[in-house]
Amino acid sequence: MNIFVAFIPWVLFSVVSQRDDVAVAGLVALVAAIAIALPSFAKGRPKILDIGAIVSFAAFAAIGLAAGNDAEWLTNFARGLATAALAAVALLSLLFTPFTEQYARETTPPEIWESPIFKRVNRELTLMWGLVFAAMVPFHILAGAIDTQRANTFFNWVIPIGLIVWAVKRTEAVSAAAGDEADRKQAATPDTRSIA
């Protein structure tokens, strides 16, 4: 569940930027991102999603404050830009440690962390989430370009929520299949300790 807690600043930004200016939305999301990141920073194991949120929302707050109330384009396209930043963070994490792996380690024994199944599944899930976030971007941009209540509801909420629900279900299915695969491999491996 911690991975879903990490998405809270992004959701807050979407909600607040709809009702307030981007500077306020950025500051609210930044405060939430810092609060969520504190435990991992305190342990000396910061998560890439937390770092990405702090950097992104500090930038949005600064740009929003600098632009003031004259930047209607920023208000209209802020969700698309924020979602693009989230997609970039997710996909760039594939170059280092897939962001899902950082959360999976919290509920998985350390002896599993280097297994090929664990590595493969987390690369697959991170890629899937990154592509889901990237798929949301054009819908947010379209909502900002059309700029009507109906477009806002459909393109900023209905479609993204549908994509997220699909991704959550896919995550559960892939994780369950990986657990079954690991169990089969373990059952097929002879226990050398009982032979010795």
Output the CA–CA distances (angstroms, integers) from residue 40 to 34, 53, 89, 156, in the order listed: 10, 14, 17, 30
Cβ atoms of residues 15 and 59 within 8 Å: no
Q: Which DSSP category does 165 fall into?
A: H
CA 39 – CA 186 distance, rounded (Å): 34
What pLDDT does residue 193 have?
44
Cβ atoms of residues 103 and 47 within 8 Å: yes
Question: Over the stretch 137-170, which tens digit does the pLDDT of each residue have?
Answer: 999 999 999 989 999 999 999 999 999 999 999 9
Q: Which of 152, 128, 145, 139 is nearest to 18 (CA)?
A: 152
CA 70 – CA 37 distance, rounded (Å): 32
Q: Look up residue 192 and give its two tokens.
A: 């050398």
Residue 195 pLDDT class (50, 70, 90 cuts): very low
Question: Over the stretch 83-128, which tens digit does the pLDDT of each residue have?
Answer: 999 999 999 999 999 999 999 999 889 999 999 999 999 999 999 9
CA 188 – CA 139 distance, rounded (Å): 47
Q: Side chain identity at 41, as an amino acid letter?
A: F
Q: Look up residue 69 and give its two tokens.
A: 């109330």
